[in-house]
A and B are shown apart, each in its own frame.
Chain A
């Protein structure tokens, strides 16, 4: 009966694909949703490619999956994955439905790169048994959905098969401790000039030793609980990574990767530390697949980090910067604020990280704002911060508590009115921060900012 239901589900889903193409809905997970309705354990009966890599974690899984897929394809692998769809079970099922033949066999793909939402682990891993599991990191995410990173680490550990080889972050030991009995390798980034010893962030999810609750002494700390430590009481310590990035030089755009005592040159296609972590993650998994450092480096040089998260554009006399900062996520906000604080020059910021999908029917839980490091924005060169949406007074209170001067704060209920509140001083860069909930609204507001930037540029030109 199970197999019959599987075929009914598979064929119905497969038939839906051309229909979706005709109606221009190719990017949706409808085939997976449909198939799972008919056969909830669809993936149990699916064939598999020779190798399956699951990429999960709080931050960076999309970037890692995309770069990994690009490089594998450049190396001649036939890769299947859920790049075009969701990272929950419906998106993963859709990827399998698209890749398999009419009998559920996967014959035309060598490898699967599956981005897996960490909360979806119990639904995915009983059926999809990965050969490699990459965990980028585990941080505080949505309070309502993910609770805390320890819960997510436990969830993944309970769900994965013992055979999966773990590719883990030696600098982030909540994820680094997942599935303690599984085979594993670690990646990390060695000491950097910008490292600190004590935590400067509000969010610090590993304040005591997970073994004995003793004090952790960090030899260096990058941000939050990321870094290398040893427990003063029991000696528990961060593992030595097999793949370690060193001499990370954002100005030159280069880094070295050390493996077994040898060092290899790599391009650094980013100016942010969190993307440097994504790159060393990709190196680690590709090395596990046996691809040479030289080939990985050559392919990486041809790769670009997706621009949806950070985009800089010169419009008239102005620098306009779009920066994604996921709503309900204190870690994402803190990283974005830290990054912005390190950019040179004066700046004005517009906040659109509102939970728009909740607006009108639910009042956003703003607890996450109080774990987000607004303190990074308490700077002379942050000239103005414009808050928008129904929670403007909560944002204002949080900013005031961070010591940001009240005369730099502007509250605008309707985001469409916000672009007019920038000063359009050509010496001041304009930042738009937006979340996944506000992609469309942010695009609309950004267009308005561009129009106004061009108008102001023309006016200034006419005056000269």
Chain B
């Protein structure tokens, strides 16, 4: 079983790579492929069970777009063919139409989704998230310079129960096309969400117990109880 991590030298912020470390602990036999910016993604030519990309800087976003633009059509073809991919944090914005900030950042994305990212660099968005995916509840955090606007309601990854979706006005969170998943949630979303981690492993063809499943499940249930509680504010002030 193979997992390809795209551009770990720049897509590595906010503990996101813990998702891959956790998968490796769950499946010690997992083969990890780390593909850097100057290399061609392996999944375009070979069988890979999961492709992962984590959060990055604003400069990193531009580098991601530059690196994937020459292979955009092949990427689209792989997504249409059902390639399993997970993208976390702001790297989602590389797959939209454009990124614009109030401090001069302005560049086009890969244009896979009809959405435009708007950043306010001195007004960081911090929020908690409680959402639904299939029959699971998802917990997580957002810490971003901005959100995404204009996308049609279709192709959402999660449905927001509490917190904000792609932006504060919509319940749809992230994007899902076939097996391509992108979410604004940051950090270790797999160890934080053992049901989702189990589901993802099942999509890869693996089964059995998660690593430290009992502890992960206990932490998940504690957080879930907090996120359901009215005494918790979902926006950080």
Partner of B212, one of A144, A202, A400: A400
Are B37 and A208 within 8 A (Cβ)?
yes
Check: A150 CB closer than 8 A to any chain B CB.
yes
Q: Which residues of B contact A400 (CB under 8 A)?
A: 211-212, 215
Q: Is the CB of A144 within 8 A of B124?
A: yes
Which B residue sits closest to A140, measured CB to CB? B13
Q: How far is the CA of A157 from the CA of B9 in the complex (A)?
A: 24
Over the window 151-193 of chain B, the binary record of Cβ atoms lying under 8 Å from chain A Cβ atoms (1 yes, 0 no) is 0000000000000000000000000000000000011100110
A169-210: CB near B (< 8 Å → 1, else 0) gives 000000000000000000000000000000000101001100
Listed stretches B57-65, B72-80, B92-100, B106-114; interface member: B57-65
The answer on a CB contact under 8 Å between A207 and B10 is yes
Can you name the residue of chain B whose Cβ is closest to the Cβ of A403?
A: B25
Which residues of chain B are near A360, meaning CB under 8 Å? Answer: 231
Q: Interface with A: B42-50, B198-206, B219-227, which one?
A: B219-227
Main secondary structure of the interface of B (DSSP, over half): loop
- Chain A interface main SS type: helix
**A362 vs chain B, min Cβ distance (A):** 6
Please indicate the chain A residues that have their CB under 8 angstroms from the CB of B145 in the complex: 147
Chain A residues contacting B143 (CB-CB under 8 Å) are: 143-144, 147, 365, 367
Residues of B close to A289: CB separation below 8 A: none
The listed residue (A363, A393, A401) touching B25 by CB distance below 8 A is A401
Contact of A367 among B187, B211, B226, B232 (CB under 8 A): B187
Query: What's the least CB distance linking A318 to chain B, in Å?
Result: 30
A330 CA / B15 CA spacing, docked (Å): 9
Contact of A361 among B12, B38, B58, B232 (CB under 8 A): B232
Q: Which of B9, B14, B121, B126 contacts A207 (CB 8 A)?
A: B9
Q: Mark B7-31, 1 if CB is under 8 A from A, else 0.
A: 0111011111110011001000000
Chain A residue, CB-CB nearest to B21: A401
Q: Taking the complex as formed, is B32 at the interface, i.e. its CB lies under 8 A from any CB of chain A?
A: no
- The CA-CA distance from A106 to B48 in the complex, in Å, is 67
Q: Does B218 contact A (CB under 8 A)?
A: yes
Q: Is A150 touching B22 in the complex (CB atoms < 8 A)? A: no
Q: Is the CB of A144 within 8 A of B22?
A: no
Contact B37 A365 (CB under 8 A): no
Contact bitstring A144-163, B, C-beta under 8 A = 1, else 0: 11011011000100100000
Judging by beta carbons under 8 Å apart, are A397 and B58 in contact? no
Chain B's interface size range is 35 or more
Given contacts A370-B15, A371-B14, contact A365 B187 (CB under 8 A): yes
Kindly state the separation between the CA atoms of A119 and B236 in the bound complex, as whole angstroms: 17
B81 contacts partner chain A, Cβ-Cβ < 8 Å? no
Task: Please tell me if the beta carbons of A150 and B231 are within 8 angstroms of each other in the complex.
Answer: no
Tell yes or no: A369 within 8 A of B by CB.
yes
B63 touches A397 (CB 8 A): no
Could you mark each residue 108-146 of chain A with 1 if its beta carbon is under 8 Å from any beta carbon of chain B, else 0?
A: 000000000000001000000000000000001001110
Find chain B residues with CB under 8 A from A371 CB: 14-15, 18
Nearest B residue to A204 by beta-carbon distance?
A: B12
Name the residue on A nearest B223 (C-beta): A363
B86 at the interface (CB under 8 A from A): no
Are A369 and B15 in contact, CB atoms less than 8 angstroms apart? yes
Q: How far is the CB of B135 from chain A (nearest CB, A)?
A: 23
B216 interface residue (CB < 8 Å to A): yes
A368 lies within 8 A of chain B by Cβ? yes
Contact B215 A397 (CB under 8 A): yes
List, in ascending order, chain A residues with CB within 8 A of B216's CB: 397
Residue of A nearest to B218 (CB): A393
Tell me the smallest distance from the CB of A3 to a CB of chain B, in Å.
28
Q: Considering the chains assembled together, what is the distance between the CA atoms of A204 and B12 in angstroms?
A: 9
The answer to whether B68 has its CB under 8 Å from any CB of chain A is: no
Q: Which of A213, A361, A401 contacts B233 (CB 8 A)?
A: A361
Does residue A271 face the partner (Cβ distance < 8 Å to B)? no
Q: Is A396 an interface residue (CB 8 A)?
A: yes
CB–CB A145/B124 < 8 A: yes
CB of A420, distance to nearest CB on chain B (Å)? 23
Is there contact, CB below 8 Å, between A397 and B37?
A: no
A394 within 8 Å of B (CB atoms): yes
Give the Cβ gap from B69 to chain A, nearest Cβ, in Å: 15
Q: In the bound complex, do residue B38 and residue A363 qualify as a contact, i.e. CB atoms below 8 Å apart? A: no
Nearest B-chain residue to A394, judged by Cβ: B219
Known: A144-B236, A367-B141, A396-B215. A213 touches B38 (CB 8 A): yes
The proximity string for A residues 324-362 relative to B, scoring 1 for CB distances below 8 Å and 0 otherwise, is: 000000100000000000000000000000000000111
Chain B residues within 8 Å of A151, by CB: 57-58, 121
Q: Given the complex of chains A and B, what is the CA–CA distance between A203 and B227 in angstroms?
A: 29
Within 8 A of B (CB), among A362-420: 362-363, 365-371, 390, 393-394, 396-397, 400-401
Does the CB pair B37–A150 fall under 8 Å? no
Contact (Cβ within 8 A) A150 B15: no
Contacts A143-B143, A371-B14; A397 near B191 (Cβ below 8 A): yes
Instruction: Known A362-B233, A397-B212; judge A367-B227 contact (CB<8 A).
Output: no
Q: Give the distance to chain A from B163, nearest Cβ to Cβ, in Å.
A: 11
CB within 8 Å for A207 and B141 given contacts A367-B188, A400-B212, A401-B191: no
B187, chain A: closest CB distance, angstroms: 3
Q: Which chain A residue has the least Cβ–Cβ distance from B235?
A: A362
Instruction: Please report the C-alpha to C-alpha distance between residue A394 and residue B21 in the assembled complex, in whole angstroms.
Output: 15
B129 to chain A, nearest CB (A): 11
A143 touches B14 (CB 8 A): yes
In the complex, which residues of chain A have a beta carbon less than 8 angstroms from the beta carbon of B22? 401
Most B-side CB within 10 Å, residue of A148, A208, A330, A363: A363
Residues of B within 8 A of A202 (CB): 17
Task: Report chain A residues within 8 Å CB of B57.
Answer: 148, 150-151
Contact B126 A144 (CB under 8 A): yes
In the bound complex, residues from chain A placing their C-beta under 8 Å from that of B124 are: 144-145, 147
24 contacts across the A-B interface (CB closer than 8 A): A143-B186, A144-B236, A147-B124, A147-B145, A150-B59, A151-B121, A208-B9, A213-B37, A213-B38, A213-B63, A215-B36, A362-B233, A362-B236, A363-B227, A367-B14, A367-B186, A367-B187, A367-B188, A393-B218, A397-B216, A400-B211, A401-B21, A401-B25, A401-B211
Q: List 7 A-B pairs, minimum CB-CB distance, nearest first.
A: A367-B187, A370-B15, A370-B18, A393-B219, A207-B9, A367-B15, A365-B141
